[in-house]
Amino acid sequence: MNDLSTNWNATPQAGVGRRLLTRLTGSGVWRSVFRHGWIRTNRDRALTIYSNVFLHIHPVKVRKSALPFRVTFCLGGLSLALFIVLTVTGILLMLYYHPSAPRAYEDMKDLEFVVSSGVFLRNLHRWSAHLMVITVFLHMLRVFFAGAYRPPREFNWVVGVMLLVLTLLLSFTGYLLPWDQLAYWAITVGTNMAGAVPWVGDEIRFLLLGGNTIGENTLIRFYVLHCVVLPLGIVVLMAVHFWRVRKDGGLARPL
Amino acid sequence: MAPLRLWLAFAIASVLMFLALAISPVRHVFPEWKSIQKQYNQLAAERYKMGQDVRPVEIGLRQLWNPDLGVVDRCTTCHLGIDNPELRDAPEPFRAHPTTPHRLEEIGCTVCHRGQGRATTTEAAHGATKHWESPMLPSFYVSGSCGSCHRERKPPETYTVASGRRLIQEANCAACHKIPGFSLERKPGPDLSDIGDKVRPEWLYRWLKSPFDYLPESKMPDFHLSESEAAVLTSYLLTFKKKSPEEAAAGRQWEQALLNASDEEIEFGETRYRELRCVSCHAQEGRGGKLGPDLGKVASKVQPAWLVSWLENPREHYPDSIMPQYGLTEREKKSIAAYMVSELVDYDADPDEDDKILELIPEPDRAVMAEGEELFRQYGCAYCHALTGHEVRGEFGADLSEIGVKDIDQLDFGNTKIERSLVQWLYTKMKIPRIFSPDLRMPDYHFSDEEARQVTAALLSLTGDNIPPKYLPPSPDPPSYSPSGPFNRILEKYQCLSCHSIRGVGGEIAPDLTREGSMAKPEWIARYFELPYTLRPIMTERMPILGLTREEIETAVSYFQLVLVDDSIPREIFLSPPDRSMVETGRRLFYEKYGCQACHQVNQQGGYVGPPLDGVRNRLYSGYIYEWLLNPQRFIPETIDPNQGLTPEEARAITAFLYGLPPAGGSQGGSR
Nearest to B61 among A106, A114, A180 (CB): A114
Give Dmax over CA atoms of chain A in angstroms.
Answer: 80
N- to C-terminal Cα separation, chain A: 41
The CATH architecture assigned to B485-562 reads Orthogonal Bundle (1.10)
B72 touches chain A (CB under 8 A): yes
> Hey, are the CB atoms on A113 and B28 less than 8 Å from each other?
no
Enumerate the residues of chain A whose CB falls inside 8 A of the CB of residue B66.
none
Residues composing chain B: 672
Using the Cβ of B243 and the Cβ atoms of chain A, whether some distance falls under 8 Å is answered with no
Amino acid code (one letter) for B408: I
What is the CATH code of the structural domain delimited by B159-184+396-471?
A: 1.10.760.10
- Confirm whether B485-562 and B580-659 share one CATH topology: yes
Nearest CA in chain B to A114: B120
Domain definitions of chain A by residue range: 3-52, 69-247
> Would an 8 Å CB–CB cutoff place A113 in contact with chain B?
yes
Do residues B187 and B385 make contact, with C-beta atoms less than 8 angstroms apart? yes
**A200-242 pLDDT, tens per residue?**
999 999 999 999 999 999 999 999 999 999 999 999 999 999 9
Closest-CA residue of B relative to A108 is: B118
Q: Sketch the domain layout of chain B as residue ranges.
A: 32-136, 159-184+396-471, 195-383, 485-562, 580-659
B3 pLDDT more than 90: no
Instruction: Report the predicted TM-score, pTM, of the whole model to 2 decimal places.
Output: 0.77
Residue B669 has pLDDT above 70, yes or no: no
Q: pLDDT category, B670, cuts 50, 70, 90?
A: very low
CA angle B50, B51, B54 (to 5 degrees): 95
Q: Each residue of B149-174: pLDDT tens digit? A: 888 888 877 889 999 999 998 888 88
Q: Name the residue among A113, A117, A120 with its Cβ closest to that of B120.
A: A113
What's the whole-number mean pLDDT along residues B518-533?
84
Distance CA B177, CA B239 (A): 30
Chain B within 8 Å of A114 (Cβ-Cβ)?
A: yes
* Binary contact (A110, B121; C-beta < 8 A): no
What pLDDT does B538 receive? 59
- Taking an 8 Å cut-off on Cβ atoms, the answer to whether B74 and A114 are in contact is yes
Instruction: Please check whether residue A110 is in contact with residue A96, taking contact to mean a CB–CB distance below 8 angstroms.
Output: yes
What is the C-alpha to C-alpha distance for residues B147 and B461, in angstroms, rounded to an integer? 5
Does the beta carbon of B61 lie under 8 angstroms from any beta carbon of chain A? yes
Q: Which CATH superfamily is domain A69-247 in?
A: Cytochrome Bc1 Complex; Chain C (1.20.810.10)
Report pLDDT for B667.
42
Q: Does B66 touch chain A (CB under 8 A)?
A: no
Residue A182's closest chain B neighbor by CA? Answer: B131
Name every chain B residue with its beta carbon within 8 A of the beta carbon of A109. 116, 118-119
Q: Could B74 and A106 be called an inter-chain contact, meaning their C-beta atoms sit closer than 8 Å?
A: no
A109 and B120 in contact by Cβ < 8 A? no
The Cα of B24 is separated from the nearest Cα of chain A by a number of Å equal to 6
Q: How far apart are CA A115 and CA A110, in angstroms?
A: 6
Quick one: closest CA in A to B409, which residue? A181
For residue B110, CA distances in Å to A102, A191, B36 come to: 17, 35, 20
Amino acid at B30: F
Interface contact A2, partner B, CB < 8 A: no
On chain A, the residues whose CB falls within 8 A of the CB of B74 are: 113-114
- B118 vs A109: CB contact, 8 Å cut-off? yes
Angstrom distances, CA of residue B68 to CA of A219, B402, B594, B623? 23, 20, 49, 48
Residues B220 and B385: their CA atoms lie apart, in Å, by 10
- Distance in Å, alpha carbon of A190 to nearest chain B alpha carbon: 22
Average pLDDT over residues B39-68: 92
- Which chain A residue shows the shortest CA-CA distance from B63? A114
Residue B120 with chain A: CB contacts under 8 Å:
113-114
Distance of alpha carbon A122 from alpha carbon A105, whole angstroms:
13
- For the B580-659 domain, the top CATH level (class) is mainly alpha
pLDDT score of A3 more than 50: no
**Residue among B408, B400, B403, B457 at smallest CA distance from B135:** B408
Give residue A12's pLDDT.
Answer: 57
Tell me which of A202-211, B16-25, B280-289, B556-565 is least confident: B280-289
Query: What is the rounded average pLDDT of the residues B487-511?
Result: 83
Nearest to B28 among A102, A116, A180 (CB): A116
Decide if A69 touches B, using CB distance below 8 A: no
Contact B24 A120 (CB under 8 A): yes
pLDDT higher than 90, residue A137 = yes
Mean per-residue pLDDT for B113-137? 88
Q: Chain B closest CA to A47's CA: distance in Å?
A: 26
pLDDT tens digits, residue range A33-74? 877 777 778 888 888 877 887 777 777 777 777 777 887 888
Instruction: Tell me if ipTM is over 0.90.
Output: no
Chain B touched by A110 (CB under 8 Å): yes
Residues in Cβ contact with B143 at an 8 Å cutoff, skipping those fewer than 6 apart:
B158, B159, B160, B161, B457
Q: Is B74 on the interface with A (CB under 8 A)?
A: yes
What average pLDDT does the segment B93-99 reach?
Answer: 90
Chosen from B26, B28, B78 to mutate, greatest number of chain A CBs within 10 A: B28
Q: Please work out, in degrees rounded to the nearest 5, the angle formed at the alpha carbon of residue B459 by the alpha carbons of B454 and B461.
A: 100
Angle of helix B351-360 relative to helix B201-209, nearest 10 degrees? 80
The HSE-up count of residue B295 (CA atoms within 13 Å, CB side) is 21
- Binary contact (B28, A117; C-beta < 8 A): yes
C-alpha distance from A109 to closest chain B C-alpha (Å): 7
Helix axes B159-170, B142-149, angle to 10 degrees: 70
Q: Quick one: pLDDT band at residue B9, thresholds 50, 70, 90?
A: very high
Cα gap A120→A99, rounded to integer Å: 20
CA nearest B61 in A: which residue? A114
Binning pLDDT at 50, 70 and 90, where does residue B80 land?
very high
Q: Cβ contact (<8 Å) for B121 and A113?
A: yes
